């Protein structure tokens, strides 16, 4: 009998801990004098893609700080909660759950990983809360949003197909033969398919499409293969960390071809990693954002000591868009925010118009940029919505 | 034909990097029977260390190169003391878990403290392009191609001729007998890791300027290190070096002629084929390294 | 049943049933993930803890199960539940494919061999676009739905019933593992673990039993994968990543390899704890690594051994020592 009692006592000692954790997860709230507006952001904060998560967090934080410094929204400050989804769908569901239930956010910005975004979509639909995606590229997200069925899913980043069309137009003006290099992930394969389709329809001959694994050190084998086919132009789908060694090895091999980037080839980060302004000087890229010495960039540099990387601007603007929706709705109630988002009609001078169509897809502008002697120069700007 | 030769050359340079990294791994496995899961992450740490010296502190390249080796040896000794020494006599599962845990700590420790931002360390050599026989490469890469065999020869001679080297081989052949004649295992463990990390340091000096450094790079190198070690002969240094060079060439030719997306697969397909057809690896497993 | 065992059974039942009563969605979802990990951990312990083969290929079996269910439901319109059987079968087949070359190796080479095979399988999942859609993931996997007599519907759409479903699977897994461990097969496993050579000499066909453990563990992991597919509606190659192996190793080693109870508790702790303490992700993983290192060096029996020591030292315990396994 004593065994039973001592055993029960042992478990009883654990109960307060269990109870506290349960309460935390069941959604304990804390009230303050001015109730803040709670927003969330789910990013990849660990693992090989954590650079992207860092950008998300920094961009979003900057926006929140700016808004709060200007008096907040509806007179209330924004409180930002950042969670790690590990680029894993099941963890992503729980990360969203953490935002939704433990932190009781009114809306949140979704992950760059399409798998996570897609897994979370049924959850937000059931619960009724907005997920604003600013980086996932999978077209199924938009297919299923808005009129496609899920009225709580919104996407702010332009489709890859649209960007590929823009870049292909540029390329077709300058070359008749091209090769494509892309990473073997969601982003890369989608972009490569879009480029192939667009370029061939414009009469450009594709010598080959080469895939690489993001993070691989050596691109010389595929560059040698491309060099042998001697294309006039090269479409490089890559973020700066991959583009930099690729560019160096391109020069090493003595290659010459016009470079058209997709990702963050033409970027300050690329220049920083390559440390040589001659490499890929003149490369062009169509991107969803371009540096323009905007207030965002100045504030970012002051706050973090370096220019923003490619994944930071959209979360920043995403927070501003959510803030605008809250202003329009005059409430931070979840349903009200959703309804207001469908009415949002903003224009950011350095980004373009943000208005969500019937599939809850926004179409900010596309920027044509070029690398000139170590600086990113904006050659032009186009609306991404086809006329 | 020219393209084939160019791809073979490409492959040899990648293979040289794999070999420099994997040689230390084979040494550790051969002498101490410890499969070091953190090997690639130690290389990553070395990469950041080199970046700190060369870019951040602006130490000239030759000086940085000279400093790297003792610094990495120090790292190896610390690592050996913290992670390996407590488990060197324990069951191999425990050793594997311990090194795996250390890899996780190193990897995430770097992300936590330094962030995930990749860094690059281009040198004057890596910016200088040299041409020979119609092939074009950077002086840095040429240096890597020339220095690597020199390093391997030096390693071989060390293992064959020096007293420490012979002691290491004795331990790898028969640990109990070696201890019976007075060779101390803890001292050998220290030497093994010191040399292993010295090799990594040399690899960092030669290789890092050509590529970039980022926290996640360690895992793939460790896995490829395992793959080439399996193919070359588990714990056999020369076999591993040979297999590494072969892997580089196979990857280059495969990417060039089959499909570039499968580059990583070759290592593991080679590994699986070896396991199926000749589990002891190309150079068998006579006892010892 | 002894009074203490009965009391702990009641307590466990209460702890398991409580979330259903509370209905708190987030808590339930966290516990669903915990449930999946309990199933994975027990199945992994079968291989690593009971029979002693340090396989690093477990995420591959999980992935095979997830993809089986994902493909059969989205492309051929099958109902999820029957696909679990196919998943289990394919998981076992994969185990044989992995095991045949790997079991020819001993010890360290075996571990590395399984790692290599798992990596190849992940590469296949990532590159065979026609079958798995690669990095674009399989999406729209339908939820599991079971109609009970009496009109009660259990489905993964709702966390409450989804939790019930995974609890059922977890309990079934626990019972299967417990039955195996107590049987002749289990004794063969343990004999091989303690001293394979000796076991062989005593007439135990070690290859057969090691393969059996791998196959059963793989089949169970595949079912967990199938459940996961219906729960998250998405299957990506990242399910087969090495990260899972590390987490499972931590769970098994900290829980006490070979102890069902320890491994189950560790699985729950290692899913729930990070949710409760959502600190910086990299720091958390750093701490995990440290815990694993510490456990490997100082705590060979894991938490289970610790509990045993505490139990034995507790005043008033009965004199019969409980076996650590």
pLDDT band at A13 (very low <50, low <70, confident <90, very high): low
- Shared domain for A278 and A297, answered yes or no, is no
State the total domains in chain B. 1
State the total domains in chain A. 2
- Shared domain for A85 and A105, answered yes or no, is yes
- Shared domain for A51 and A128, answered yes or no, is yes
Q: Angle at CA A242, nearest 5°, toward C116 and A307?
A: 135
- Domain-terminating residue out of A255, A287, A319: A287
Mean of pLDDT over chain A: 88
* Domain carrying residue A264: 161-287
B111 lies within 8 A of chain C by CB: yes
Domain of A360, CATH number, reads: 3.40.50.2300
- Shared domain for A81 and A172, answered yes or no, is no
In a domain, B271, yes or no: yes
Residues 68-127 in A contacting C (C-alpha not used; CB under 8 Å): 83-84, 86-91, 93-94, 97-98, 100-102, 114-115, 118-119, 122, 126-127
In a domain, A358, yes or no: yes
In a domain, A32, yes or no: no
In a domain, B285, yes or no: no
State the Cα–Cα distance between residues A265 and B102, nearest whole angstrom: 35
SS3 of chain A:
CHHHHHHHHHHHHHHHHHHHHHHHHHHCCCCCCCCCEEEEEEECCCCCCHHHHHHHHHHHHHHHHHHHHCCCECCECEEEEEEECCCCHHHHHHHHHHHHHHCCCCEEECCCCHHHHHHHHHHHHHHCCEEEECCCCCHHHHHCEHHHCECCEEECCCCHHHHHHHHHHHHHHHCCEEEEEEECCHHHHHHHHHHHHHHHHCCCEEEEEEEECCCCCCCHHHHHHHHHHCCCEEEEEECHHHHHHHHHHHHHCCCCCEEEEEECCCCHHHHHHHCCCCCCCCCEEEECCCCCCCHHHHHHHHHHCCCCCCCCHHHHHHHHHHHHHHHHHCCCCHHHHHHHHHHCCEEECCCEEECCCCCCECCCCEEEEEEECCEEEEEEEECCCCC
- Shared domain for A91 and A237, answered yes or no, is no
Residues 232-261 in B contacting C (C-alpha not used; CB under 8 Å): 234, 261
- Domain-terminating residue out of A287, A308, A337: A287
Q: Which residue among B10, B127, B131 sits closest to A276, beta carbon to beta carbon? A: B127
In a domain, A130, yes or no: yes
- Shared domain for A278 and A166, answered yes or no, is yes
A46 lies within 8 A of chain C by CB: yes
In a domain, B81, yes or no: yes
* Contact check, Cβ <8 Å, B97/C253: yes
In a domain, A248, yes or no: yes
User: How many residues are recorded in chain C?
Assistant: 325
* Domain carrying residue B71: 2-277
* Contact check, Cβ <8 Å, C7/A93: no
Q: How do residues A276-302 score in pLDDT, each as one tens digit? A: 999 999 999 998 888 888 889 999 999
* Contact check, Cβ <8 Å, B265/C127: yes
In a domain, A314, yes or no: yes
Q: Give the residue among A182, A44, A186, A40 at the shortest CA–CA distance from A112.
A: A44
Phi, then psi, of B21 in degrees rounded to 5:
-75, -45
In a domain, B287, yes or no: no
C135 lies within 8 A of chain B by CB: no
- Shared domain for A51 and A125, answered yes or no, is yes
In a domain, B112, yes or no: yes
Q: What is the pLDDT along chain C (325 residues), one digit of tens a residue?
A: 566 667 767 777 777 777 776 667 888 888 999 999 999 999 999 999 898 889 999 999 999 999 999 999 999 999 999 999 999 999 999 999 999 888 888 778 888 889 888 988 998 998 898 899 988 889 889 999 898 888 788 888 888 889 999 999 999 999 999 999 999 999 999 999 888 888 889 888 989 999 999 999 999 999 999 999 999 899 999 888 877 888 898 888 888 878 898 899 999 988 888 777 776 677 888 888 888 888 888 876 665 566 666 667 655 444 444 444 3
Collapsing DSSP states into helix, strand and coil, what is residue B119? strand
Domain of B60, CATH number, reads: 1.10.3470
In a domain, A11, yes or no: no
Question: A180: which strand partners?
Answer: A209, A235
- Shared domain for A298 and A279, answered yes or no, is no
Q: Are C39 and C32 in contact, with CB atoms under 8 Å apart? A: no
Q: Angle at CA C227, nearest 5°, toward C224 and C230?
A: 155
Long-range residue pairs from B166-170, CB within 8 A, at least 24 positions apart, any chain: B167/B191, B168/B27, B168/B31, B168/B192, B168/B289, B169/B31, B169/B288, B169/B289
Q: Minimal Cα–Cα distance from B105 to chain C, Å? A: 5
In a domain, B46, yes or no: yes
In a domain, A378, yes or no: no
What share of residues in chain C are helix, strand, coil (percent, to 5)? 75, 5, 20
Q: Which residues from chain A sit within 8 angstroms of residue C129, using beta carbons? A: 189
- Shared domain for A168 and A258, answered yes or no, is yes
- Shared domain for A218 and A72, answered yes or no, is no
The pLDDT assigned to C285 comes to 81
Whole-Å CA distances, B287 to A197, B137, B141, B161? 58, 40, 35, 18
Phi, then psi, of B80 in degrees rounded to 5:
-60, -40
Q: How do residues C77-135 score in pLDDT, each as one tens digit? A: 999 999 999 999 999 999 999 998 888 887 788 888 898 889 889 989 988 988 999 88
- Domain-terminating residue out of A267, A287, A307: A287
């Amino acid at each position: 009998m004593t065994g039973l009692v001592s055993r029960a006592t042992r478990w009883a000692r654990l109960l307060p801990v269990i109870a506290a954790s349960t309460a935390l997860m069941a959604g304990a709230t804390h009230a303050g004098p001015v109730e803040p507006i709670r927003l969330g952001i789910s990013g990849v904060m660990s693992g090989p893609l954590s650079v992207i998560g860092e950008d998300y967090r920094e961009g979003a934080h900057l926006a929140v700080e700016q808004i709060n410094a200007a008096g907040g929204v509806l007179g209330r400050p924004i409180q930002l909660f950042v969670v790690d989804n590990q680029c894993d769908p099941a963890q992503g569901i729980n990360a969203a759950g953490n935002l939704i239930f433990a932190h009781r956010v009114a809306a949140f910005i979704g992950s760059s990983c399409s798998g996570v975004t897609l897994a979370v979509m049924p959850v937000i639909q059931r619960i009724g809360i907005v997920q604003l995606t600013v980086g996932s590229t999978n077209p199924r997200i938009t297919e299923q949003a808005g009129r496609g069925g899920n009225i709580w899913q919104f996407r702010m980043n332009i489709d890859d197909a649209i960007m590929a069309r823009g870049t292909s137009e540029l390329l077709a003006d300058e070359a008749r033969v091209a090769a494509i290099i892309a990473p073997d992930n969601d982003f890369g394969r989608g972009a490569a398919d879009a480029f192939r389709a667009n370029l061939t329809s414009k009469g450009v001959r594709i010598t080959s499409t080469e895939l690489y694994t993001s993070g691989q050190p050596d691109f010389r084998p595929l560059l040698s293969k491309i060099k042998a086919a001697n294309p006039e132009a090269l479409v490089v789908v890559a973020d700066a960390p991959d583009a930099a060694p690729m560019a160096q090895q391109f020069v090493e091999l003595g290659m010459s071809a016009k470079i058209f980037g997709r990702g963050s080839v033409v970027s300050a980060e690329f220049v920083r990693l390559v440390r040589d302004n001659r490499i890929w000087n003149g490369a062009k890229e169509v991107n969803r954002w371009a540096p323009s010495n905007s207030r965002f960039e100045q504030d970012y540099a002051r706050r973090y000591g370096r220019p923003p990387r490619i994944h930071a601007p959209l979360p920043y603007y995403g927070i501003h868009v959510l803030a605008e929706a809250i202003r329009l709705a005059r409430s931070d109630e979840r349903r009200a925010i959703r309804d207001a988002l469908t009415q949002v009609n903003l224009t950011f001078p350095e980004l373009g118009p943000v208005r969500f169509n019937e599939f809850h897809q926004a179409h900010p502008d596309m920027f044509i940029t070029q690398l000139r002697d170590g600086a990113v120069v904006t050659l032009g700007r186009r609306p991404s919505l086809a006329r | 034909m020219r393209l084939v030769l160019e791809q073979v050359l490409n492959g040899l340079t990648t293979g040289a990097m794999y070999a420099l990294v994997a040689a230390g791994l084979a040494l550790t496995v051969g002498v101490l029977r410890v499969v070091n899961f953190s090997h690639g992450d130690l290389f990553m740490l070395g990469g950041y260390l080199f970046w700190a010296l060369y870019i951040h502190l602006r130490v000239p390249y030759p000086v940085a190169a000279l400093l790297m080796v003792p610094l990495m040896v120090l790292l190896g000794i610390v690592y050996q003391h913290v992670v390996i020494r407590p488990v060197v006599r324990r069951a191999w599962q425990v050793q594997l878990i311990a090194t795996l845990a250390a890899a996780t700590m190193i990897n995430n420790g770097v992300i936590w403290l330094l962030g995930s931002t990749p860094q690059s360390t281009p040198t004057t050599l890596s910016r200088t392009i040299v041409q020979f026989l119609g092939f074009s490469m950077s002086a840095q890469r040429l240096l890597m191609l020339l220095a690597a065999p020199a390093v391997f020869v030096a390693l071989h001679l060390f293992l064959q001729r020096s007293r420490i080297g012979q002691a290491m081989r004795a331990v790898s052949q028969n640990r109990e007998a070696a201890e019976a004649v007075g060779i101390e295992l803890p001292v050998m463990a220290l030497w093994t890791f010191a040399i292993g990390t010295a090799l990594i340091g040399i690899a960092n000096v030669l290789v890092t300027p050509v590529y970039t450094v980022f926290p996640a790079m360690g895992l793939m190198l460790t896995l490829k290190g395992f793959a080439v070690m399996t193919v070359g002969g588990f714990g056999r240094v020369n076999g591993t070096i040979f297999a590494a060079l072969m892997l580089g060439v196979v990857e280059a030719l495969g990417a060039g002629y089959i499909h570039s997306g499968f580059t990583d697969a070759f290592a593991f397909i080679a590994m699986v084929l070896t396991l199926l057809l000749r589990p002891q690896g190309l150079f068998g497993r006579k006892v010892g390294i | 049943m002894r009074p203490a065992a009965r009391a702990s059974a009641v307590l466990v039942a209460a702890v398991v049933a409580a979330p259903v009563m509370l209905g708190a969605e987030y808590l339930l979802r966290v516990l669903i993930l915990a449930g999946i990990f309990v199933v994975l951990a027990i199945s992994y312990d079968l291989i690593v803890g009971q029979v002693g083969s340090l396989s690093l290929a477990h995420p591959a079996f999980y992935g095979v199960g997830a993809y089986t269910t994902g493909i059969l439901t989205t492309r051929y319109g099958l109902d999820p539940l029957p696909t679990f059987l196919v998943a289990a079968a394919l998981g076992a087949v994969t185990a044989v494919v992995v095991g045949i070359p790997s079991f020819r190796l001993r010890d360290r080479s075996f571990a590395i061999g399984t790692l290599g095979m798992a990596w190849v399988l992940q590469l296949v999942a990532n590159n065979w676009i026609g079958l798995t859609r690669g990095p674009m993931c399989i999406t729209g996997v339908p939820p599991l739905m079971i109609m009970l007599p009496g009109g009660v519907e259990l489905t993964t759409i709702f966390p409450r019933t989804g939790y019930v479903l995974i609890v059922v699977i977890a309990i079934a897994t626990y019972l299967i593992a417990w039955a195996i461990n107590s049987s002749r097969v289990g004794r063969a496993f343990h004999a091989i673990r303690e001293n394979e050579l000796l076991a062989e000499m005593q007439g135990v066909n070690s290859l057969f039993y090691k393969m059996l453990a791998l196959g059963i563990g793989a089949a169970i992991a595949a079912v967990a994968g199938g459940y996961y597919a219906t729960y998250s509606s998405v299957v990506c190659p990242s399910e087969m990543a090495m990260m899972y192996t590390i987490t499972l190793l931590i769970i098994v080693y900290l829980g006490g390899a070979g102890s069902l109870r320890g491994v189950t508790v560790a699985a729950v702790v290692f899913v729930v704890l990070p949710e409760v303490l959502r600190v910086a992700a990299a720091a958390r993983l750093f701490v995990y690594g440290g815990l694993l290192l510490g456990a490997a060096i100082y705590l060979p029996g894991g938490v289970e051994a610790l509990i045993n020591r505490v139990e034995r030292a507790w005043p008033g315990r009965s004199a019969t020592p409980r076996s650590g396994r």
